Every structure is written in C-alpha cells, then in structure tokens.
Chains A and B, each alone.
Chain A
C-alpha cells in the first residue's frame, strides 16, 4: 500500500519535475555540456550533406554558380566587392582629409550546433553568444565575406541566427553598378532574395553584384550578399524589384564568423 502511494506520488510529480529540470537545464551550464555532443553531430550531418550534394548536384536554380567557372566567378565577385569597398573607403579618406578612421571590426569564429528543420526558415544556433560580444543584428559570414545571416537572439553562450533567405529577414544592401543603387533585400523563405525599394530611374541589370551597404549599425559594408538574376519593372509602380541569388548555400557550412563592430568608434 505504502509502495503504491509512493509510486503514485512520483508519477504525479514527474511532469512538473521534468519541466522544471528542463528549464533549469536550459538556463544553466548544461547547454555548454550538450554542445560537446552537438558539435560533432552537426559536423557529421554537414559532412553527409556535402557528400550528398557532390553525388546529387542541384539541377535547378543556382544558375550563376552552376557554370563551369563558378569558383573563378565567385573569387572575382569577392575581389570586386573588396575592391569597390576599398575604393569607396579611399575616396572617403580623401574627402574627409584623414578624419575618417578605417572602421575596424573583429570576428568571433563559431560553430553551428543546431538547425531548424523548417522549409521556410533556415534558423540555426551557434556556440558563442553575448559573453563573446555578439549582439542582436550582428552579421554572420562564412569564409571570405559572404553574408549568410543575422543574429536574431543572443544568450550567454549561444546565439540564434536567421539566414538572409528567411522570411522577413531584411538587409540594407547596395548594388555594385555605376550609381551604387541602395535597396533592401528581403528573404521569403525560398532560395532567392527580393531586392525592394529601388527607384524606377535606377539602372540595374542581371549579374550586378549585391553587397551590404553599411547602413545598418551592426553590419559593415561590402559583404557579398548575392547577384541579381532578374529585374521586374512596372512603370506604374514607384519602385522596381529585383531577384537576387546568394552565391553561397549556407547549409553547407558548419563554421561561421560573427562580425563584432566597435560601434563606439
């Protein structure tokens, strides 16, 4: 009898205890311990994905990258964006007679430890957070300066990042064309970005490079966002829109860098 009551007591006590423990686990140091298991699991998954893509390459989309010279084109894209950024910076330096200090920023290298499984949003969690200086809105890049996402939430030692392709993810961008058109890229949950708020009199063309404009406080200028693959002009509308294809598939990377801008400079 006593044993039955004892067992019943624990059965009723189980659910609230599990919840309390889970909350405590999330808020305590256990996530760091879990990250030890999550990192290799995530790396293994990423490695399997790369093998899968190597065996079954995508047949549709990625027209810009699917050419035989894709690596060269991507290298050129990075070089061009760096060159344009340096050129603009140089002009500013001349114009402001040396009062402009080159904006310096530091990186926090991080690993992706969790991913969402949503078809509409590529959200992932990295293993560094506010303790390392990461803030909401920080730019997340891969390898050589390709913007892949923005931090949407930070915790002590982890941060949640949403891909630039995710729904409602907006990034202030500019085109590397003659007039340095400024616009706003918006993700829709698919594989492409929409470039919005481009005035009708701006001349944009397919294959124009899209980079960050630097108008956002937490994102430096010159990070590669993608390339224009289509332009829609409706004379009745005040703005034209363009379709932008990212040059990088963010799902193929397990290691990213978060840019920490020293905004007090």
Chain B
C-alpha cells in the first residue's frame, strides 16, 4: 500500500515539475519529456512496472486537462506502453545503456507516430494547416532531452535504484 502511495506521489511530483516548470520555459527547454524518460528508465533498466503505469497515467492526465495533441491520449499512451514492453522483452537488453536509450527513443518516436496518425484521421475532412517545421523541431529537441535524461539516470543508476528501493518503488536491485 505504501508503494502505491509513493508511486502516485512521485508521479504527481514529476507531473508538477514537467507541466508547471519545464513547460513554462522557452523552446527548447519546454520539450523535456521528464515523465516519459523516468517511466522508460524505471521499466527498462530498473525492471519496475511502475514506470509503465506512469506512462498510462500520463495519458489519462493529458486527456483530463486537454493538454494533449488530440483527445484519446490514454489510448495512445496505452498502445505505446505495449510497444515499450515489446521492445523491452524482445529487442533491447536492460543491462546496456544503448538498450535503454534505444527503447526510449524508438518508443518516443512511436508515440508521436501514433499521435499524428490519430490526429490526421480525426481531421481528415478538415482543411487544417499543420505546423510541420515547429513540430519537427519540437520532436528533435524532445529526443535530445530524452537522451540526456536517460544518460543522467543511467549513470546515477546505483543511487537512483537505492533511493527508490528505499521508497519501495523498485522491488529489487538484482538487475543492476
């Protein structure tokens, strides 16, 4: 029960940091995918399913506050979680830095692919101009910051793992 509360609390803390602080910063800094990076890192490197639930909760949060590109972010993040699990189980190892980065970057691009597909299906009959260039720049910076965040988390792995093991979010440290 404590683990549940701590997980929810950490998620809310990450949400406050990302949506209130980072998103108030100018480009490129408002593209920092903090929750996505933490979720991916927790799943892929620390082997904690809490990371996946954070991703799904992020989808719910975006839908709740209409902060996403389209309505239905819960579904989009749900599909992305399945993609993350697939990559984590079949393609990338959890011990390698490149494995964690590879899963994170591919999953981020997959998320955007599903988002834009969903968006264009929803606006198929409408003549809505889409700012391709700013979107491209945004995704580029998001990828850069994702890489940086994963790098920082990976090289602080032992401390991160110990800290969250104490908070009961990470069940064991055998994977490290």
Q: Do chains A and B interact in one complex?
A: yes
Which A residues form the contact surface with B (CB < 8 A)? 10-11, 13-15, 17-19, 21-23, 25-26, 34, 37-39, 41-42, 44-46, 48-49, 52-53, 112-121, 123, 125, 152-153, 160, 167-168, 188-190, 251, 254
Which B residues form the contact surface with A (CB < 8 A)? 1, 3-5, 7-8, 11-12, 16-27, 30-32, 49-50, 53, 56-57, 60-61, 64-69, 128-131, 134-135, 137-138, 171
The answer to whether A42 and B20 touch across the interface, beta carbons within 8 angstroms, is: yes
Contact pick for B1, options A10, A52, A168, A190, CB 8 Å: A10
Minimum CB–CB distance from B60 to chain A (whole Å) comes to 7
Given the interface pairs A14-B3, A190-B134, the reply to whether A167 lies near B128 with Cβ below 8 Å is yes
The residues of B that contact A38 with a CB separation of less than 8 Å are: 16, 19-20
The answer to whether B12 and A119 touch across the interface, beta carbons within 8 angstroms, is: no
The residues of A that contact B171 with a CB separation of less than 8 Å are: 11
The residues of B that contact A46 with a CB separation of less than 8 Å are: 24
**Total cross-chain contacts (CB, 8 A):** 137
The residues of A that contact B11 with a CB separation of less than 8 Å are: 18, 22
What's the dominant secondary structure at chain B's contact region? helix
What's the dominant secondary structure at chain A's contact region? helix
The residues of B that contact A113 with a CB separation of less than 8 Å are: 20
The residues of B that contact A25 with a CB separation of less than 8 Å are: 8, 12
The residues of A that contact B17 with a CB separation of less than 8 Å are: 41
- In the complex, 17 of the A-B residue pairs with CB atoms within 8 angstroms, ordered by the A residue number, are A14-B7, A17-B4, A19-B56, A19-B57, A38-B19, A41-B16, A41-B20, A46-B24, A49-B25, A114-B19, A115-B30, A116-B67, A117-B18, A120-B69, A160-B66, A189-B134, A254-B24
Contact pick for B65, options A49, A114, A168, CB 8 Å: A114
How far is A41 from B60 in the complex, measured between Cα atoms in Å?
Answer: 22
The answer to whether A114 and B4 touch across the interface, beta carbons within 8 angstroms, is: no
The answer to whether B60 and A45 touch across the interface, beta carbons within 8 angstroms, is: no
Contact pick for B22, options A10, A45, A53, A167, CB 8 Å: A45
The residues of A that contact B128 with a CB separation of less than 8 Å are: 167-168, 188
Contact pick for B66, options A13, A14, A53, A153, CB 8 Å: A153
In the A-B complex, list the 8 residue pairs whose CB atoms are closest, starting with the nearest.
A45-B24, A41-B20, A119-B138, A115-B23, A38-B20, A41-B21, A114-B19, A116-B67
How far is A44 from B29 in the complex, measured between Cα atoms in Å?
Answer: 13
Given contacts A38-B16, A38-B19, 14 further A-B contacts (CB under 8 A): A15-B49, A17-B4, A22-B8, A39-B20, A46-B24, A117-B19, A119-B134, A120-B131, A160-B65, A188-B129, A189-B130, A189-B131, A189-B134, A251-B26
How far is A25 from B138 in the complex, measured between Cα atoms in Å?
Answer: 31
How far is A15 from B66 in the complex, measured between Cα atoms in Å?
Answer: 23
Minimum CB–CB distance from A26 to chain B (whole Å) comes to 6
The answer to whether A125 and B65 touch across the interface, beta carbons within 8 angstroms, is: yes
Minimum CB–CB distance from A95 to chain B (whole Å) comes to 40
The answer to whether B24 and A49 touch across the interface, beta carbons within 8 angstroms, is: yes
How far is A34 from B23 in the complex, measured between Cα atoms in Å?
Answer: 16
Minimum CB–CB distance from B122 to chain A (whole Å) comes to 11
The residues of B that contact A23 with a CB separation of less than 8 Å are: 60
Given the interface pairs A34-B16, A52-B25, A114-B20, the reply to whether A125 lies near B134 with Cβ below 8 Å is no
The residues of A that contact B16 with a CB separation of less than 8 Å are: 34, 37-38, 41
The residue among B1, B32, B53 with the most chain A CB atoms within 10 A of its own CB is B53
Contact pick for B4, options A21, A118, A152, CB 8 Å: A21
The answer to whether B5 and A21 touch across the interface, beta carbons within 8 angstroms, is: yes
How far is A190 from B50 in the complex, measured between Cα atoms in Å?
Answer: 36
The residues of A that contact B4 with a CB separation of less than 8 Å are: 13-14, 17-18, 21
